[in-house]
Structure 1
Amino acid sequence: MYSKEEQKKLFDLSKKLLQLESPPATAIADLRITIVYHEWRYYALNDPVVSDYEYDMLYKKLEALEVRYPELVTPDSPTQRVSSDLTEDFPTVEHLTPMLSLDNSYDAASLAEFDQRLKNYLGLPEEMEIEYCVEPKFDGGTIVLIYENDRLARAATRGNGIAGDDVTPNIRTLRSVPLHAAFSGAGIAKAELRGEALIRKDVFEIMNQQRGADDLPLFANPRNAATGGLRTKDPSETASRRIEAFLYQLGYAVDASGNDALGQFKTHGETIEFLGNAGFKVPRSDAAGQGRGERHVSKNIAEAAAFCLQWQGKRDAYPYEIDGMVVKVNSLELQQRAGSTAHHPRWAIAFKFKAKQATTKLLHVDFQVGKTGSITPVAKVEPVQLAGVTVSSVSMHNEDFIKNKDIRLGDTVLVERAGDVIPYIVKPMEELRDGTEQVIEFPKNCPVCHTALVRAEDEAAWRCENPDCEAQILQRMIHHVSKHAMDIEGFGESIVERFYRLGWLHTIADIYRLDYEKIAMQEGFGEKSAANLKAAIETAKRNPIHRLLHSLSIHHLGI
């Protein structure tokens, strides 16, 4: 659909548009073509080149311009339809009810604004509290299931919201999707359910390890592996990926005469409980408020926001990838009254977590010398926001890591940071290369002392074997005083570097024969600080032997 050159231009154009605070009206056409491109990358290829947040920002910029200049809105604008994941590989089938996108929020304030808009639209009094059901926004592939006479009749992807790809044979391999469910017990003859196909994080890691061993391309994330698995031509391949499905909505239900059967349920929460009792995998209820479930009925928007923020901190410990929470009006009667826009339901909104993955440009590589002489390549990248932190340096571990992933200088790379995990490069975006990228040459000599580097047969690291290398000496002392070694309180990395520059530290032994009178005279210290440091060092002398051994940075010896 797009040539390599076109993709490079559209990616660069996207980055320029994202930098504009208030794009001019002339940017509408550029915003439309870039959004359509990113929808194709995300939905058709399952291989996005921008983060969800960046896509959302492009979309909001287009929305804002079209509101300001309504005469410029066109029927084919991305804001006038739902994004599509339709392919030519499977027959297309229509959904029983349209499936819209969700509006997005990123903080408690925007959730409060959503609540106020809803009250205004429904004509509800200011003081009235709307009850909300909050549940995970699973980061997988959306599926739409139809049951007739208690049997799974059809399964499709989300598609363009009106129709999707028929993937029934593949969905039948998912053990979490019942082939038979007792809808008839509730007087339901035909039902349409919506859910998400996912792969557990631990299963995904094992899968990628096996693909690496088989010299197959690695999946960027569990979502790619799951959505790709739904569209395989061979159902046994779908089964091998151990995909699971969470169901989160009963969108349509009629009795044998075609009459509406949803009226027996008063709330969204009731429909989820019904599906769970019918044998479907659904988000667990946190009715007791003890943090054990991922679905919670909140009495108002403030409580809903608190639950969202709570789960933003718990997302990394959750077995499945989630990129936010979905806040839904719990009352089905209020949902019906609120209705929808052309793009999203007015009664639901997504609370998006901070992005864990983003693309950025690899500018250059620093080769750093560690405490045992190992050389670590560190990628210096254009600063990018990941999980609430600005990332500008990313470890690339060793030469094999660079070669196996074919990472080059000038590449646009996909970077990930999950929780407190050190950021890492998932892969280079090879389709965005323009020919100016350069192969990364690993040094043959130590970048500090220039000693020839050595690589043992059973190791991945190149090492400087000069024990007098200044970089190693400094790193050994920094490690020695660190929390995980001798744990000398108040003796941080910056203090070690400062004393080293002053000529007070040359070896680890010098740490235990410092002149505290001189230290007391240093700016930022004083007698009390010097005395505290002395006391901490004296305390460290009583550490157990295993801490001492670990602190000496002897290769292959540690805890």
Structure 2
Amino acid sequence: MSEPSRLIVGVDVEKRIAELTAEVKRLNDLYYGTGDSPLPDADYDALKDELAALVAEHPELEPADSPLGKVNAPAELTGPTIRHARPMLSLAKATSEEQIRTFCGRFAGQVFRVSEKLDGLSLSVVYVDGKLDYVATRGTGTVGELVTEKVRHVIPGLPTEISAPGRVEVRGEAVMLRSVWAAYNEAHPDRTLTNPRSGAAGTLVLKDPEAAAKAKRLLRFFAFGADRHGAAVEIPAGFEPVAQYVCASAEEVLDAIHEIGGRRDGLDYDIDGAVVRLHEPAAFDAAGFNSAEPRGAIAFKYPPEEKLTTLLSVEWPVGKIGRVPPRAKVAPVFVGGVTVENITLHNPRLIRERDLRIGDTVAVVRRGDVIPFAGRSLPERRDGSEVEIVPPTHCPSCGSELEVRGTGEERWCVNLQCPAQATRRLMHWASRQAADMEGVGDTWIEKLAEDGVLKRRSDFYDLTVEQLLGYERMGEVSAKNMIDSIASSKGMGLRRALIGLAIPMASEGTAKRLCLAGYERIEDIAAATVEDLVAIRDIGPKVAESIVAFFARAEVQEEIAALRERGVNLDVLAEDRPVDAAAAGDSPLKGKSVVITGAFTDPRSGAKISRPDVTRLVEQAAATTASSVSANTDYLLAGDNVGAAKIGKAEKLGVTVVNQDELWRWLAEAGVI
């Protein structure tokens, strides 16, 4: 039997401390290893607070591997690392005004600085003699993980040069803007990001940052301090500083905290609190620090905007590409400035892990314009009438069996003829990245689909002006513009057609790679085997299997034939075709593996040229591109503002560095420009 001192209301304290320790460490590894966590911040903080309270009562029971008093970090860093010149520490937490007054009282007579506490990922950005040397994460606090090359792709606004001599370190926070997060989730419903904070952390653990950049999964960096050789200096020009207030008293500090909190919903980035610290660098340094926290700073955490209500029911609507997400109705509740009646439950795994049930009392969370969601339930309020939420096994629209995909255990309808998906697929075909039917709006597509006029993509090309004039509010000019737009889209070509077909798991990049691999006609791709497709660079087995299965469907083959009959070009266009090997002549690029880095200027116009456009030109010259330098790389194609780290790695591996003047000459010789 446990000792009485180790029991609290029937709970074995030693066992509970062990459980909490294991869970906090698991969540740390999940978040810092994958960029995501099954629990919202408030739930994570509650677990850690419970652990801290138990350990404070029973310090003799704290395990050797306790996460308390340490910087939140994964068990181990997996990438290249570097030791910080000064530790990057966590901050002590305050949740009440009294705690802030107590903190300020310890430093009577001092001046304080209050700034937004951004909810992202802390980074150290180091320059040597004005040139970017490296970027590192906070890591363990003393050792960070190098993410220099990743940052170049996903934080486009980060300065590569500053006007300052010697070693200058800028510290700040990388965040994903709410608008970027919402746009990314809208464009990638099959792999949504839980929230902007997870989006920021997850972006910097991706193995292919260039792909993340192409998918518009971009971050923004806000600086909160800088130093040169350990002495504080002004934040260099080119950086966006965190908003801050200078305060002479505890009351002014509290006013600043309330000011920041009052406008956080209007920001395009998440803040979860306000940082209060000694303003003078000398005073801050003199205050010292403990193992994980500086004594001269504290973070005031705002409570999440949440209210309790009842979960009434759960629906499973079918999305535009077949995803069947859970949507819940709750008893109306006023939260975050609006009355909320519908919330998202994210995915089936989250429902299971949070043990959400119909009839539960749930905390509805709404931050800014983010879709309201159930942060947690309160099991202690259950009366036994609650009902388990069971994900559907068959599509609510067409009745076909659903597939279970991904770590979120999401349900997907794979029936291409599912009525709930048909209209969205038509909209996607008409979109800019596919057929680019500029004169055809989603409202009209929806109307024509409802009337049975549009059932499949080829039906667009049977529409007539006379047919459209039969609709109310459709004028002759609008009808003619729509038909002209549809007619002009017939020249779309193979790459855009592949995008418009919305093949599961096949991205826009996959469409480009298929064209560059030498496929001339869509029928050629339809006849390819998994082995044929896997042989193409960056097309893996799962994507290849998905492509083969898609084109094996009878309805897809019928649709391709129907599009051909109506004069739609489904053959590769010259702009998407690689230069013929013979045409490339003896160009040094032919058959070589290259990595592209830096900023490029088009020699024909003098204008900046994007990295994707440079990649396309290089691939047309019969080269293959990779995202990082390795022993298999033949050339590092370097534009302007290239970091010393990548150049150094290339030289160490014996990879030839080619400047952009030489690159343009090679491309001209290959007939690409």
> Scaled by the length of structure 2, what TM-score is found?
0.48
Q: 1-side partners of 2:117 and 2:76: how far apart? A: 24
Show the counterpart of 1:94. Answer: 83
Matched residue type, 2:68: T
Q: How does 1:173-188 map to 2 (within 5 A)?
A: 173=153, 174-184=155-165
Show the counterpart of 1:247. Answer: 223
Show the counterpart of 2:241. Answer: 282
Maintained 8 Å contact 1:133/1:327: yes
Residue 346 (structure 1) aligned with residue 301 (structure 2) = no
1 or 2 for the larger relative contact order (CA 8 Å, sep ≥6)? 1
Maintained 8 Å contact 1:176/1:281: no
Instruction: Tell me by how many angstroms 1:366 deviates.
Output: 7.0
Instruction: Tell me by how many angstroms 1:318 deviates.
Output: 0.8
Q: 2-side partners of 1:47 and 1:54: how far apart? A: 14
1:233 to 192, 207, 212: 207
Q: Deviations over 1:463-492 (max 9, x none)?
A: xxxxxxxxxxxxxxxxxxxxxxxxxxxxxx
Q: 1-side partners of 2:312 and 2:369: how far apart? A: 24
Instruction: Tell me by how many angstroms 1:77 deviates.
Output: 1.0
Show the counterpart of 2:249. Answer: 300
Instruction: Tell me by how many angstroms 1:113 deviates.
Output: 2.0
Secondary structure of the 2:264 match is helix
Instruction: Tell me by how many angstroms 1:316 deviates.
Output: 1.0
Residue 83 (structure 1) aligned with residue 72 (structure 2) = yes
Q: Deviations over 1:46-101 (max 9, x none)?
A: 22233323322332333333333333334321114211147665212222211111
Q: How does 1:399-478 map to 2 (within 5 A)?
A: 412=354, 416-419=365-368, 423-424=372-373, 437-439=389-391, 458=446
Q: Deviations over 1:505-528 (max 9, x none)?
A: xxxxxxxxxxxxxxxxxxxxxxxx
Maintained 8 Å contact 1:93/1:164: yes
Q: Deviations over 1:257-289 (max 9, x none)?
A: xxx5x1xx5xxxxx4xx21x4321212xxxxxx
2:50 to 43, 56, 61: 61
Instruction: Tell me by how many angstroms 1:303 deviates.
Output: 1.0
Residue 42 (structure 1) aligned with residue 1 (structure 2) = no
Maintained 8 Å contact 2:82/2:145: yes
Q: 2-side partners of 1:114 and 1:278: how far apart? A: 32
- The answer for unaligned runs of 5 or more in structure 2 is 1-7, 316-325, 357-362, 378-387, 398-418, 424-445, 448-673
Cα gap change, 1:91 to 1:295, in 2 (>3 Å): same
Cα gap change, 1:386 to 1:68, in 2 (>3 Å): farther
Secondary structure of the 1:439 match is coil
1:208 to 169, 178, 185: 185
Show the counterpart of 2:146. Answer: 166
Cα gap change, 1:221 to 1:408, in 2 (>3 Å): closer
Q: 2-side partners of 1:243 and 1:192: how far apart? A: 20
Secondary structure of the 2:193 match is coil
Instruction: Tell me by how many angstroms 1:341 deviates.
Output: 1.3
Matched residue type, 2:241: V
Secondary structure of the 1:142 match is strand
Maintained 8 Å contact 1:53/1:355: yes
Show the counterpart of 1:192. Answer: 169
Q: How many residues in Structure 1 have an aligned counterpart in Structure 2? A: 366
Maintained 8 Å contact 1:407/1:427: no
Show the counterpart of 1:365. Answer: 313
Q: 2-side partners of 1:385 and 1:35: how far apart? A: 32
Q: 1-side partners of 2:46 and 2:119: how far apart? A: 19
Q: 2-side partners of 1:236 and 1:407: how far apart? A: 29
Cα gap change, 1:439 to 1:67, in 2 (>3 Å): closer
Q: Deviations over 1:133-152 (max 9, x none)?
A: 11111111211112112111
Maintained 8 Å contact 1:362/1:411: no
Show the counterpart of 2:278. Answer: 329
Instruction: Tell me by how many angstroms 1:218 deviates.
Output: 0.8
Q: 2-side partners of 1:338 and 1:89: how far apart? A: 33
Maintained 8 Å contact 2:38/2:350: no
Instruction: Tell me by how many angstroms 1:238 deviates.
Output: 4.3
Instruction: Tell me by how many angstroms 1:181 deviates.
Output: 0.9
Maintained 8 Å contact 1:409/1:438: no
Show the counterpart of 1:217. Answer: 191
Cα gap change, 1:357 to 1:231, in 2 (>3 Å): farther
Instruction: Tell me by how many angstroms 1:27 deviates.
Output: 2.8
Q: 2-side partners of 1:297 and 1:114: how far apart? A: 16
Secondary structure of the 1:172 match is helix
1:395 to 330, 334, 342: 342
Matched residue type, 1:149: D
Q: Deviations over 1:392-450 (max 9, x none)?
A: x8515xxxx89x9558976736964125877346999xxxxxxx751369999xxxxxx
Secondary structure of the 2:223 match is strand
Q: 2-side partners of 1:47 and 1:361: how far apart? A: 26
Matched residue type, 2:164: F
Q: 2-side partners of 1:71 and 1:181: how far apart? A: 51
Instruction: Tell me by how many angstroms 1:295 deviates.
Output: 1.0
Q: 2-side partners of 1:427 and 1:208: how far apart? A: 22
Secondary structure of the 2:240 match is coil
Cα gap change, 1:343 to 1:411, in 2 (>3 Å): closer
Matched residue type, 1:155: V
Cα gap change, 1:146 to 1:426, in 2 (>3 Å): same
Q: 2-side partners of 1:142 and 1:96: how far apart? A: 15
Instruction: Tell me by how many angstroms 1:190 deviates.
Output: 1.2
Cα gap change, 1:410 to 1:58, in 2 (>3 Å): closer
Report sequence identity in percent. 28
Secondary structure of the 1:33 match is helix
Cα gap change, 1:196 to 1:299, in 2 (>3 Å): same
Secondary structure of the 2:300 match is strand
Q: 2-side partners of 1:73 and 1:97: how far apart? A: 28
Maintained 8 Å contact 1:35/1:59: yes
Instruction: Tell me by how many angstroms 1:307 deviates.
Output: 1.2
Q: 1-side partners of 2:371 and 2:146: how far apart? A: 40
Show the counterpart of 2:41. Answer: 52
Matched residue type, 1:52: D
Maintained 8 Å contact 2:31/2:201: no
Matched residue type, 1:297: V
Show the counterpart of 2:259. Answer: 310
Q: How does 1:8-19 map to 2 (within 5 A)?
A: none
Maintained 8 Å contact 2:364/2:375: yes
Q: Deviations over 1:290-339 (max 9, x none)?
A: xxxx3111111221111111221211101211111111110212112211
Q: 2-side partners of 1:366 and 1:158: how far apart? A: 40
Cα gap change, 1:23 to 1:363, in 2 (>3 Å): farther
